[in-house]
Structure 1
Amino acid sequence: MIQVFFNKRGSGKTKKLMNLANEKAMDCSGNSVYIDDDKRLILQLHRNIRFISTEDFSLMDYHGFYGFLCGIIAQDYDIENIYIDGLSNIVSGCMDEAAHLFSRLEDIQKTRSINVYISINSEELQLPEFIKKYVA
């Protein structure tokens, strides 16, 4: 499953995503990974969730981010849930460029049965067409 939390900055997306991750960590049989652009939440997440801050990496675009995700998945075949907090903060570029990323995430989700939860900040609130089927 791919689920997207899409709203403007300050609307509570991060809190929802963090609470979801913490709840699922209690009854998840596989591993969980939480990806964020900084380290603010590291102490608020359940200790069973692997936290990765992208500030330690030079992620430039959606293609690079896809490779980054593939590396994480290749390192741990037991990943059940991936949480991506603030996709638009992690990589630069317009949301239309993310269509390819979502298509590839869908392939990963189907072949590996990994649940992907993504929060996206947008001041425009104009939901791109390719994201509509994923919005919570």
Structure 2
Amino acid sequence: MIQVFCNKRGSGKTKNLINLANTNVLTEKGNSVYIDDDNRPMLQLDKKIRFISTQDFLLRDYEGLYGFLCGIISEDYDIENIYIDGLSNIVDGNAEEVARLFFKLDDIVDRFGINVYINVNDDNEMPDLIKKYTA
């Protein structure tokens, strides 16, 4: 399952995503990974959640992010939830590239039974493909 939380900057999306991750970790059987473009939320997350800052990996585009996610999943088959905070802060791209990423993510979440939660800023028009995932 892919679930997108879309709202304006400063609306509390990060806080809600952290709360969701911390709540889910109490009942899930698998592992969780929280991905952000900086280290700010690291200390707010339950210590059972693996935190990854993309600052360390020089991600530039959606293809790179997809490969990055595949690497994370291939390293740990017990991943149940992936949280991505601020998709547009992590990589740049146009609506077509975002749609391609979601198309590929759809396949991965189905094959591996993973839940992906993504925060997206409401600054630009979202492709229709992404709107179907919006919470």
| TM-score interval, smaller chain | over 0.9
**Cα distance per residue 1:56-111 (max 9 Å; x no partner):** 01101000000000000000000000000000000011233211110111001110
Q: Which moved more, 1:66-75 or 1:89-98?
A: 89-98
Rounded to whole Å, the distance in 2 between the matches of 1:81 and 1:120 is 17
Structure 1 partner of 2:133: 134
CA contact (8 A) 2:7 2:122 kept: yes
Paired residues, number: 135
**Cα distance per residue 1:1-41 (max 9 Å; x no partner):** 10000111111111111100000011110000000000001
Any idea what SS the aligned residue of 1:35 has? Answer: strand
Cα RMSD of the aligned pairs, angstroms, is 0.9
Rounded to whole Å, the distance in 1 between the matches of 2:122 and 2:103 is 20
Rounded to whole Å, the distance in 2 between the matches of 1:10 and 1:95 is 22
Q: Percent identity at matched positions?
A: 65
Any idea what SS the aligned residue of 2:43 has? Answer: coil
Structure 1 partner of 2:101: 101
Q: Which moved more, 1:111-120 or 1:6-15?
A: 6-15
Structure 1: 5+ residue stretches without partners: none
Any idea what SS the aligned residue of 1:88 has? Answer: helix
Rounded to whole Å, the distance in 1 between the matches of 2:68 and 2:102 is 14
Q: Give the TM-score of the pair, scaled to structure 2.
A: 0.97
Structure 1 partner of 2:52: 52
- Please identify runs of 4+ aligned residues in structure 1 that moved more than 2 A: none
Structure 2 partner of 1:86: 86
Structure 1 partner of 2:29: 29
